[in-house]
Amino acid sequence: MKTMVDWVDELKSWDMPVLQRSVGELGKLAGRVEQITAGEIADVVLRDPLMTLKVLRLVNGMSRSRLSNEITTVEHAVMMLGVGPCFNRLANLKSIEESLKTFDGALPGLLQTLSRAHHAAWQARDWANSRADMKSEEVYIGALLYDMGEILLWAYAPEQAVQIRKLEQRNKISLAQAQKDILGFDARELQLAIAEAWRLPELMQAFMHCGNTVQPRILGVTLAASVARFAETGWHAPALLANYEVIAEMLHMHLDEVVHMVHRNAVVEARHWDWYGVPPAAALLPMLPGDWPAEPGAVEE
- 168-216: pLDDT as tens digits: 999 999 999 999 999 999 999 999 999 999 999 999 999 998 665 778 9
All residues at 6 or more sequence positions from 107 whose CB lies less than 8 Å from its CB, including other chains: 96, 97, 100, 101
* pLDDT above 90 (res 9): yes
Contact call for residues 73 and 79 (beta carbons, < 8 A)? no
State the pLDDT at residue 221: 96
**Is 80 exceeded by the pLDDT of residue 64?**
no
Exposure on the CB side of residue 260, measured as CA atoms within 13 A:
5
Using alpha carbons, select from 244, 226, 237, 229 the residue that is nearest to residue 292: 237
Identity of residue 204:
M
Residue 243, classed as helix, strand or coil, is helix
CA distance 52 to 146: 12
Q: What mean pLDDT is predicted for residues 258-265?
A: 98
Backbone phi, psi, residue 200, to 5°: -65, 155
The whole-number pLDDT of residue 212 equals: 58
66 pLDDT band, cuts 50/70/90, is: very low
Q: What is the mean pLDDT of the chain?
A: 92
High-pLDDT (> 70) share of the chain, %: 93
Q: Comparing 289 with 164, which gets the higher pLDDT?
A: 164
Q: Give bridge partners of residue 18 from the DSSP assignment.
A: 95
